[in-house]
Structure formats: structure tokens, C-alpha cells
A = this chain, B = another copy of it.
Amino acid sequence: MRADAQRNYDRIVEVAREVFREQGYDASLDEIAKRAGVGPGTLYRHFPARENLLDAVLKFWVDKVDVATEKALAHEGGDRAVLLNWFEEYVALISQHKGAPAKITSAIGNPDSPITTKCQVLTAANDRIIDRLRADGALRDEVDTIQVCRLVGGIATVADQGDLDADAVRPMLAVVADGLLR
């Protein structure tokens, strides 16, 4: 990639991260272009669809997922506490900005999505937690990773769109956890 192109690409992603956080995932792309000091044509050449921009914005976020997974695996307490703690982390991870939980969750299990690699990171993280709990014999047999991602993602989506706080979310996560544990 040419040096000026790289510069613009990086600048757009940086600005998009900021604007998505401020205004949510529905923010105007033309405004992002303007704030980044480029024309709309430049933005759309680098990111043909909004989701491609989201994918780029989530680049460093992958590391956060890994850190959170490690922390969850190292969590003190019983299986239920581990699972609940992870669910809260998971919700926080996919709720970085308004509209993100829905976008991410609906992309899970869809290999054609521009953010499919990010979804794989998430499902892999869930796999690790689930494997650990399964090794303890704590989970029901039919538990499936993608289903878990969707269940918790659904709660995150509802919380995002209905402006619910953590106290309203926790008991819902507990229901799902209890439905998964033996």
C-alpha cells in the first residue's frame, strides 16, 4: 500500500473508533471522513461497507478478548461463578459502542460477514471457558458454543437497545448460566 494510503487508512480507523464510541455504530460515515480530513470517496474505497470499518476498528480489541479470557479462566470460585463472571466480561466486550452487540451477535456463525474473524475470536474464547467447565463435568451435555454466544449476545443486544444497566443484566445472565449448568 502506498504511504499516503496507509496514512489515510490509519487515520480513518482512529477517527471511526472515536466516533463510534461517541455516537454509536450508526454514526455518519461522511462525518467520519470529514473528521479524518479525507473525502468520502477515500473512506469508501478503503471500506466498501460499514462492517469493514467495524472490522478494522476492532483490530486491537482482539487482545482485550484474550486478556479477559485468561482472567476469567483464572477466576476464583466455583463453576457457576466462573461462568457468570465470564458472561459479564463477554457482554462488556461486545458492548463497546451502541449497536455493536446486535451487529456482532448476528454475524456469529455467518462465515460471509466482514467481521467473521472477530467472531471466531469470540467463539474461540467461549470454547475455552466451556471446555474448562466441561472438564469439571459442570455443563449439560447438549451445550453448544455458538448457542451460548447467541444467548449471551441476545442479552447484550437487549441491554444495549433498552439502555439497561449491569444490575438488570446480571439476573438474566444467571438464568442462562443455570440453564447451561447441570
A155 to B157 CA separation, bound complex (whole angstroms): 10
The A153-181 residues at the B interface (CB cut-off 8 A) are: 153-155, 157-158, 161-162, 164, 171-172, 174-180
Q: Indicate if A147 sits at the interface (CB-CB under 8 A).
A: yes
A96 to chain B, nearest CB (A): 18
The proximity string for A residues 90-117 relative to B, scoring 1 for CB distances below 8 Å and 0 otherwise, is 0000000000001001111110000000
A79 to chain B, nearest CB (A): 15
A104 to B177 CA separation, bound complex (whole angstroms): 25
B158 touching A154, Cβ below 8 Å: yes
A176 to B180 CA separation, bound complex (whole angstroms): 9
CB-based nearest B residue for A179: B179
The A33-56 residues at the B interface (CB cut-off 8 A) are: none
Q: Indicate if A142 sits at the interface (CB-CB under 8 A).
A: yes
Q: Which residues in B have their C-beta under 8 angstroms from that of A106?
A: 158, 161-162
Q: Which residues in B have their C-beta under 8 angstroms from that of A175?
A: 147, 151, 176, 179-180
A81 to chain B, nearest CB (A): 16
A-to-B contact residues, CB < 8 Å: 102, 105-110, 140, 142, 144, 147, 150-151, 153-155, 157-158, 161-162, 164, 171-172, 174-180
* The 6 nearest A-B residue pairs measured at CB: A179-B179, A154-B154, A175-B179, A106-B161, A178-B179, A106-B162
